[in-house]
Structure 1
Amino acid sequence: MADSLRNLVLVLGDQLDAGSAVFDDFDPARDAVWMAEVAHEATQVWSTKPRIAIFLAAMRQFRDALRARGFTVHYRALDEHAHPDLESALADDLAALKPAKLLAVRPGEWRLAQSLPKACEAAGVRWIERPDRHFYCDDDDFADWAGKRKEYRLEFFYRWLRKREGVLMQDGEPVGGQWNFDHDNRGRFDKRGPGLLPAPRAFAPDATTRGVLAMVNERFAAHPGRLEGFDWPLTTAQAQAALDDFIAHRLPLFGRYQDAMWEGEPWLYHSRLSAAMNLKLLPPRAVVAAAEQAYRDGHAPIEAVEGFIRQVIGWREFVRGVYWQRMPGFLEENALGAEAPLPDFYWTGHTDMACLRDALRQTLDLGYAHHIQRLMVTGLFALLLGVRPREVHGWYLAVYVDAVEWVELPNVLGMSQYADDGRMTSKPYAASGAYIQKMSNHCAGCRFKPGEATGAQACPFTTLYWDFLARHEAKFARHPRTALQWKNLARKPAAELAAIRRQADALRRALAPDSRSKHGVDG
């Protein structure tokens, strides 16, 4: 095989797409697939056990599926080689296998998109990059839309792509007479809570996955997270079953409660599909088509379907386009001059703030939190505290099972932390504890009071909110979308504001990580 290998097909851990263009003319007699697990992908950021496990387990399931189709797969399992990273593992096998060409779609991370072709070049093997059909929008499409815009706005991109693809359109107009239904999708639960919720479809680990879980628990014992309840979809069939389950049982109420939070309820009406989509086990066109059909069939209301489709055809495609337009400089942006370190409790969940404690422990245990928990709890606190954006980015990339850099980095640096100075979002998502009180039951059981900014019971979110406004008053006081917040700041008596600033400074000192801890993990 080594002397006559025509094409070596590269498949990375987030490229588990059986319909990928790299397989279009695959000849089992002359071609082979290359996959590798390497420690660097789990340790370049201090990845949680669920995140490590989902990638490795899904990769092994995909390997077995390819072999069942008669494909030769050169698979380097983590415990079977000593290569620290993908580049060195690939270089070694290129030298041994001597393929005429290496076929790939572009990696989902800028670093690998630069380094892997260089490894091929050094080995004298041609790197052939084929189009990534998983997405609606390629680089040229996004560049054409972006044109000379200095700022990118989701709403304009979303409308353009919906028109082009004919999604939720009728006679050239949006179904329902409007482009989005945000005003109908801000429901919250009353004091009785969400009631009996439809549990998402779970997938019991098979022997292959159980082997991965055991290996991760042993090899990455010091990493945060738990694997006892690991039940993510890991194959194309399982991902389709998870989609069918969401459409049938949770989509109808997804829109109304997509921004709501409730203590101890991680899933609510959310889809739990982002990991399967970002591993490319589930094509977004299938997801959008299923949701749109649910509306056409009268199964789900327009506000739920539109809100969900906007996350897929709008935001997901939008952030990918922004990522490839803005890298590598995007990674270094810090428009608000944030320099505080990330508190240790982001890695442990040990905090008295009930909302953060619930979101963090859920994140660390499951590798999952829904978008409002990410944006308006964990992300909001980091924004108000003034944490270095790159450090916030590293944490998000490490903890979530759906985290691939192309989707995670713009969400964190652009949307959550406003590090790009408004090129993605028109204003920072700054809010006090009152927002969390409105959208959840967290404050009822918390020792802090969301209405208080100073004193022993002051909510840290509220203290830091007013401090954030004061620190950035010159930048935002005349901003058309933030002027009201800063007008409220101007009404604060000078003595009260000075007390808030002192309490905020004390909070920062108290939350500075222990210099003895490693990667934010206690001990």
Structure 2
Amino acid sequence: MSRLIVILGDQLSRSISSLDGADKDHDSVLMCEVMAEATYVGHHKKKIAFIFSAMRHFADELRGAGYKVRYTTIDEPTNTGSFTGEVQRASAALRPSAICITEPGEWRVLKEIRSWSDTLGLEVELRRDHRFICSHREFRQWAQGRKSLTMEFFYREMRRKTGLLMQGDKPLGGRWNFDSENRKPAEPGLLRPRHLEFEPDAITTEVLNAVGQLFPGHFGKLEGFGFAVTRSDALKVLDGFIEDFLPKFGETQDAMLQGEPWLNHSLLSFYINVGLLEPLEVCLSAERAYHEGRAPLNAVEGFVRQIIGWREYMRGIYWFAGPDYAESNYFGNTRALPSFYWSGDTDMNCLSTVITETIDHAYAHHIQRLMITGNFALLAGIDPKQVHQWYLEVYADAYEWVELPNVIGMSQFADGGFLGTKPYAASGNYINRMSDYCGSCRFDPKQRVGSKACPFNALYWDFLDRNRDKLSSNHRLVQPYATWSRMSDESRDETRRQAASFLAGLE
């Protein structure tokens, strides 16, 4: 009796449930790089290279631990190009008695796995992914019957379940949330520590060459590849973050600075989402830093909340809402994504900066995603499904289970409030307050109309005006609507014309 253990590209953990009880003498592990996964959207070249290199290194780690590994590279001539094709090919060669796999992160892949039993005539054991704190069943039980799926309350349940930053049944510091202390702008830091980067080894160099040849038209650049691609190097990134960046992470986590794409952010999402780091071990490291006096509570709480709060919550929403969630379009937005999202070629310096950095690094931090690229798309009435696809393509840490609810529910409010309590819409004033982007922009964040007016300003008020029927009853938008109502008819008309003129130019 032997099993074929299939490990997907975001399951690169020795603790993955599919390996539990594996018989190294008889079972075989299958890992495969397939064209269908690399091209169902046009993923950033660095994202493809990162995942393939991490997979190849993990396969070598498993071999070193005594596992029998069958591995298919993307450029292997016999590669069928799909998970199903590679599982069929491996099954024909190895004659396993059953297939074992840990549940995938996405509906699309789950649908494919569910077809294997009939296709192959083999039992397929689908195991829970224990790397996540909250199971699908637990989230459903929490969500069902609630009038509002507020993340804050879910987060508190995760704190209680894990015991992180808890003192008995009470939160450390007497508060669950220190977000009010984490909204400071940042100052340029000449002596800011450098984030770790890693020189490509022979395996990574081979992958970079293959990706360059096979995906020349995909978004982004391969130059400057510096990701960790092994668990040992990912642990070095974790240690470096805890030591050098966590103490200042909290207060500056919403800040944006020209020429400093990383600031005090952890850059750990790549490694957590692919499996090289475990979410709980990362949180425990941060908690330990607090107890040892190496990081303040506001920083540690804010960091832990992103992982056991937002990350777990987004996964729960994704599976609870179902595959049709991607079709949500509460505002009925149909405008096409502007071409500058692919090039960074726009006079709006905030957008140009963030998109250019994304082209270079396959990364932007959460406020850049939410309040620059996401905010603009919301205000401009861009089709939310196009926005979702762009985010999925361009970021190396983007997987649909975490990216889709972040974009559809949080960034674009396309679900009408199923996930969030209000749209994350903001004018140029917010961007000017939280960044230094406006200082070198040809547009003025203090002007609402005229040739030098920041486009975000008129678009913000126009967004509220055209969606008044859907949003005016939202208690969190009472003040903006009151301000709009106090404007003169002439001012409102000028604002509408300014927005209309700008949007016509987009088309």
TM-score scaled by structure 2? 0.97
**1:319-334 counterparts in 2 under 5 A?**
319-334=314-329
Structure 2 residue aligned with 1:431, among 421, 426, 431?
426
Give deviations 1:12-54, integer Å, cap 9, x for gaps.
Answer: 1111111111111111221001111112222211111111111
**Partner amino acid, structure 2, of 1:60:** R
Residue 70 of structure 1 corresponds to 66
Q: 2:158, 2:308 within 8 Å by CA — same for their partners in 1? A: yes
Q: 1:120, 1:126 within 8 Å by CA — same for their partners in 2? A: yes
Q: 1:91, 1:120 within 8 Å by CA — same for their partners in 2? A: no
Residue 500 of structure 1 corresponds to 495
Residue 10 of structure 1 corresponds to 6
Please tell me whether residue 253 in structure 1 is matched to residue 248 in structure 2: yes
Residue 232 of structure 1 corresponds to 227
- How far 1:165 sits from its partner (Å)? 1.5
Structure 2 distance, partners of 1:426, 1:91, is: 46
Give deviations 1:86-144, integer Å, cap 9, x for gaps.
Answer: 22332333333331111111111111011122033211111101121111111111112
Q: 2:73, 2:79 within 8 Å by CA — same for their partners in 1? A: no
- How far 1:506 sits from its partner (Å)? 2.6
Q: 2:116, 2:124 within 8 Å by CA — same for their partners in 1? A: no
Structure 1 residue aligned with 2:115, among 104, 114, 118?
118
Structure 2 residue aligned with 1:179, among 173, 176, 179?
176
**Which structure 2 residue ranges, 5 or more long, are not aligned?**
none
TM-score scaled by structure 1? 0.95
- How far 1:248 sits from its partner (Å)? 0.4
Aligned residues: 506
Q: 1:11, 1:104 within 8 Å by CA — same for their partners in 2? A: yes
**Partner amino acid, structure 1, of 2:144:** G
- How far 1:338 sits from its partner (Å)? 1.1
Structure 2 distance, partners of 1:328, 1:88, is: 24
**Partner amino acid, structure 2, of 1:24:** D
Q: 1:105, 1:132 within 8 Å by CA — same for their partners in 2? A: yes
Q: What's the secondary structure of 1:128's corresponding residue?
A: strand
**Partner amino acid, structure 2, of 1:19:** S
Structure 1 distance, partners of 2:237, 2:272, is: 11
Structure 2 distance, partners of 1:72, 1:209, is: 22
Structure 2 distance, partners of 1:219, 1:209, is: 15
Structure 2 distance, partners of 1:84, 1:172, is: 51
**1:162-173 counterparts in 2 under 5 A?**
162-173=159-170
- How far 1:82 sits from its partner (Å)? 4.5
Residue 409 of structure 2 corresponds to 414
Report percent identity of matched pairs: 46
Residue 151 of structure 2 corresponds to 154
Question: Which segment drifts farther, 364-373 or 114-123?
Answer: 114-123
Taking a change above 3 Å as real, the CA distance of residues 168 and 386 of structure 1, as seen in their structure-2 partners, is: same
Residue 299 of structure 2 corresponds to 304
Residue 131 of structure 1 corresponds to 128
Q: What's the secondary structure of 2:128's corresponding residue?
A: coil
Structure 1 distance, partners of 2:451, 2:80, is: 52
Residue 309 of structure 2 corresponds to 314
Q: 1:121, 1:127 within 8 Å by CA — same for their partners in 2? A: no
Question: Which segment drifts farther, 98-107 or 399-408?
Answer: 98-107
**Partner amino acid, structure 1, of 2:69:** V
Structure 1 distance, partners of 2:482, 2:259, is: 37
Residue 515 of structure 1 corresponds to none
Q: What's the secondary structure of 2:332's corresponding residue?
A: coil
Give deviations 1:172-198, integer Å, cap 9, x for gaps.
Answer: 2110110111111111125xx233211
Q: 1:39, 1:78 within 8 Å by CA — same for their partners in 2? A: yes
RMSD of aligned Cα (Å):
1.3
Structure 2 distance, partners of 1:42, 1:455, is: 45
Residue 191 of structure 2 corresponds to 196
Please tell me whether residue 23 in structure 1 is matched to residue 55 in structure 2: no
Q: What's the secondary structure of 2:424's corresponding residue?
A: coil
- How far 1:462 sits from its partner (Å)? 1.1
Residue 271 of structure 1 corresponds to 266
**Which structure 1 residue ranges, 5 or more long, are not aligned?**
513-523
Q: 1:150, 1:423 within 8 Å by CA — same for their partners in 2? A: no
Structure 2 distance, partners of 1:14, 1:174, is: 32
Please tell me whether residue 99 in structure 1 is matched to residue 102 in structure 2: no
Give deviations 1:204-241, integer Å, cap 9, x for gaps.
Answer: 11100011111111221122211221111111111111
Please tell me whether residue 482 in structure 1 is matched to residue 477 in structure 2: yes
**1:361-440 counterparts in 2 under 5 A?**
361-440=356-435
- How far 1:328 sits from its partner (Å)? 0.9
Q: 2:72, 2:79 within 8 Å by CA — same for their partners in 1? A: no
Q: 2:246, 2:264 within 8 Å by CA — same for their partners in 1? A: yes
Q: What's the secondary structure of 1:431's corresponding residue?
A: coil
Residue 443 of structure 1 corresponds to 438
**Partner amino acid, structure 2, of 1:87:** T
Q: 1:20, 1:134 within 8 Å by CA — same for their partners in 2? A: yes
